[in-house]
Structure formats: C-alpha cells, structure tokens
Structure 1
Amino acid sequence: MRNVRAVTLYLLTALALSGCMRQPTAMVRPHDALDALAYGGRMASAPPPAGPRLWNTPGLWDTPAIAATPVVYAAAPPPVVHDPAYRLDAGDRLRIVVYGQEGLTNTYLVGAGGSITMPLIGAVTARGRTPAELSAAIAARLRNGYIRQPYVAAEVEAYRPFFILGEVAAPGQYPFVPNMTVESAVAIAGGFSPRARRDLVIVTHTDARGTVRISVPTATPLSPGDTVLVDERWF
C-alpha cells in the first residue's frame, strides 16, 4: 500500500510541475478594422506593403499628406453687349426706364410707322435713332411741361426678326440673336435642303443709306431685319 501511495503522489507531482513549466501563449489581435472594433481597441498600424507601388502613387502610410487636386470650373460665358450705335426700326422691343416714374417705365414696341407711344407725351419717333438718341428725345419731351429733371434710359430688349428664304428646311421669320451669322441663321431654319447652294447666299440689308442686296459667304454677320436668300445649286 505504501508503494501504491508513493507512485500516485509521484505522478501527481509530475503533472503539476509539467503544467507550471508550460509557456503562456500570447493572443494576436487581428489587423482587420472590423475585428479591431470588435476587440474595442484601436487597430495597430500595419507596416507599408513591400514592393513597388502602382503608378508611383503615395501610400496611405506615408507621413506627408496628399495634396488635393483643385477643381477647375469653366468660366461663365461673357454677357451679350448691345451695340450702342445700333439704329432702331420697326419690330424692335425696347425697355424704357424713367427713373421715379413707374407709370412711364415699361416695355414698348416700335410700330410699323417707326414710333413708340408713351403716356403723357404720345408718339415718339424711334426709327433711325440709337437707344441713347431716343432716350434724349423722350427726356426733352417730358421736360416740356411734365417733369422738371427727367432721367431716361432706353435699351433694346429684343431685336426685330430676320427672314430666311429659299433652299432651307423651314423658311420663314425668326427672332434675331446677337452675333448671328448667315450660318447660324441657316441652322435656325433647319439647315440647307439637299439642292441648296452652300458656299454663297444673298443677303438684303436696309439701313439709313438705303437697301443693299449682296452675295456673301456663310460666315458673314447678320443684322436685325436682314433677309437671307439661299439659292438652288446648278450641279
């Protein structure tokens, strides 16, 4: 019995000593962000990847901050500048402002007779005058017994239309757009027809000097009230 007890005590002592001599295993915390959140701690900084980078792009672990590329926006188109020497005629729509006089400030259309009609002073001739000359004429009429010191400004709100005839898809009358050329007028009318002559057109222009009818290329600028005639080609 003593031998059995001695053997048992020896075995228990050996097992205890072997457990104490075993080295503890360290727990390795994962580097994944979601795992780091699960462990409740900050993710340890991982070393930069070995080997060359694609396109020499700076890594996320580099100390200098990556400079942001500035965003370049396209510049707004310049505003349309009205020609101060433009001569008014029938079909022009004007904005007349008489400062301090709301009853006189309004939009006026130059009629077929070449005049506009305003309260108090009646008809005022606009044909052949510039907007500045029309403003002076209106101020002179108002100063004659109506307003002591009138201040008047006139501006073209919409130009008189132009006309296009002949070999285009949709001939007719169209609103004039500043800086218009014969080419853009043809585009507004739907383009050339299959039989159109495309190198030259005939433009009829009327001003204070009279009426002129001339053959011009498609890059020629147009004026309000012009008539464009697209001829048929012969071959």
Structure 2
Amino acid sequence: MTSQSNRRRFFGTLVLVASIVVGLNGCSVSLPSEMAPTVVEGPNEGYLLEPGNKVRVTVFSESNLSGEFLVDPIGNIAMPLAGTVPAMGLTAKALALRVADVLSRAGYLRDPKVAVEVMTFRPFYVLGEVRQPGEFGYTSGVTVLGAIAKAGGYDYRASKGEVVLIRQVQGVEKELRATERTPVLPGDIIKVVERYF
C-alpha cells in the first residue's frame, strides 16, 4: 500500500512539474529573430508625407513664397501663387521638385530653387511594460531607451532590454528585435515585454 501511494505521489508530482513547464513555455514571449537596423537614414530622407504633417518650404530668393505649411486632410499644401500642391505620399525632396515645377510651369519663376524640410512627423508608440504607455511626438535622434524614458521608464514587470519593434518596411509591417540603442523612426511601435520569473 505504501509503495502504491508513493507511486501515485510520484506520478502526481510528475504531472505537476510537466504542467508547470508547459505553462512557462506557453507564457514566454518569443522575440523576433531579425534585429532592427542600428543605423537608419535621417527621417527626412525616406519619410512619406501625410495629412497633419507640417513642412517648411523655402523658395530661394523669394521670401514671400517661403513659409511653413500644413498638409491638409486631403493631402495638399496651400502656397502663395502656387496654390494647392498635392503633397501626400511624397518625400520632402519630391515635394520640393513638385513645388518648383508648379512655380515654373505657371510662369511665376524661371528655374526656381526649392527646398522642403519636414517639421512634424508621425508619432511613435510605446506599449507593454512601461509606466505610461501611449503616443509620443517624434523627435530626430530618439532611441528605444529614449522612447521608454518618455513613457515613464520600465515598470516592475518589464524584461529590461527585451523589446519588439514594429515598423513599416516598404509598406509591410515587420516585427524586429531591438536593443535600447536602436534608433526609432516616425510611426514605430515599441513593445516592452514582460519578464516571467
């Protein structure tokens, strides 16, 4: 009888240990295998304009045509003389070429020189095990650690340094593994994962 109860206890313990192992494996977060790039182009290079962005347009030697303009809800900017110029989906360089073309074709300027700088970008988001998750205004040069600091820092459940970065890459959303030094781009989603022991 004693050996039978010992056997039951042994199998009960074995089942309990197996269920704990399975439970722990089920709880763990698998991080993406692909690492996020540690060097990125400046946000002005590949950033595509969208409604709500503010741009500074400089028409050289024409201060009355230069200024800051908001991309309106349908994706245009309204400029003096040039009128309504479609901007949505263009980079800053492409918009500069478009503005120069509009001014040239309308006969206002011969061979205008135009530069465009993006003043406000799409925000980034910090989720997961941080004190104040949310949406944050993008500033050039921010890293994952800086983004986490804006979100109030790690909370007590955070697995420090275990970060998933969700980024649009050529129109496709990708999950990447990131470190605290990974540069953040406009529109990125940073997820700080939970530690389990």
TM-score by length of 2: 0.67
The equivalent of 1:227 in structure 2 is 189
8 Å contact 1:93–1:160 — kept in the other structure? no
Alignment pair present for 1:98 and 2:59: yes
The equivalent of 1:187 in structure 2 is 149
CA distance in 1, matches of 2:169, 2:86: 19
Alignment pair present for 1:197 and 2:159: yes
Deviation (angstroms), 1:156? 2.2
Q: Of the candidates 173, 179, 184, which is equivalent to residue 211 of structure 1?
A: 173
- The C-alpha deviation readout for 1:70-91, integer Å capped at 9, x for no partner, is xxxxxxxxxxx95662323324
8 Å contact 1:159–1:175 — kept in the other structure? yes
> Counterpart amino acid of 1:92?
N
Q: 1:101 to 1:115 in 2, by over 3 A?
A: same
Flag the structure with higher strand content: 2
Q: Of the candidates 133, 139, 142, which is equivalent to residue 94 of structure 2?
A: 133
Deviation (angstroms), 1:231? 2.2
8 Å contact 2:85–2:99 — kept in the other structure? no
Does 81-90 or 133-142 show the bigger shift?
Answer: 81-90
Q: Which runs of 5+ in 2 are unaligned?
A: 1-40
Deviation (angstroms), 1:172? 1.4
> Counterpart amino acid of 1:88?
L
- The C-alpha deviation readout for 1:13-47, integer Å capped at 9, x for no partner, is xxxxxxxxxxxxxxxxxxxxxxxxxxxxxxxxxxx
Superposition pairs of residues 136-175 of structure 1, within 5 angstroms = 136-149=97-110, 150-175=112-137
Deviation (angstroms), 1:102? 4.2
CA distance in 2, matches of 1:206, 1:127: 14
Q: 1:116 to 1:203 in 2, by over 3 A?
A: farther
TM-align CA RMSD = 2.5
Q: 1:128 to 1:227 in 2, by over 3 A?
A: farther
Q: Which runs of 5+ in 1 are unaligned?
A: 1-80
Say which SS state the counterpart of residue 160 (structure 2) adopts: coil
8 Å contact 2:126–2:190 — kept in the other structure? yes
8 Å contact 1:135–1:154 — kept in the other structure? yes
CA distance in 1, matches of 2:149, 2:185: 16
Deviation (angstroms), 1:144? 1.6
Count of residues in Structure 1 that have an aligned counterpart in Structure 2: 154
TM-score by length of 1: 0.57
Q: Larger relative CO (CA 8 A, sep 6+): 1 or 2?
A: 2
Q: Give structure 1 regions of 4+ aligned residues with deviation exceeding 6 angstroms.
A: none
8 Å contact 1:121–1:142 — kept in the other structure? no
Deviation (angstroms), 1:122? 0.6
The equivalent of 2:36 in structure 1 is none
Q: Of the candidates 84, 91, 107, which is equivalent to residue 122 of structure 1?
A: 84
Identical-residue share of aligned pairs (%): 31
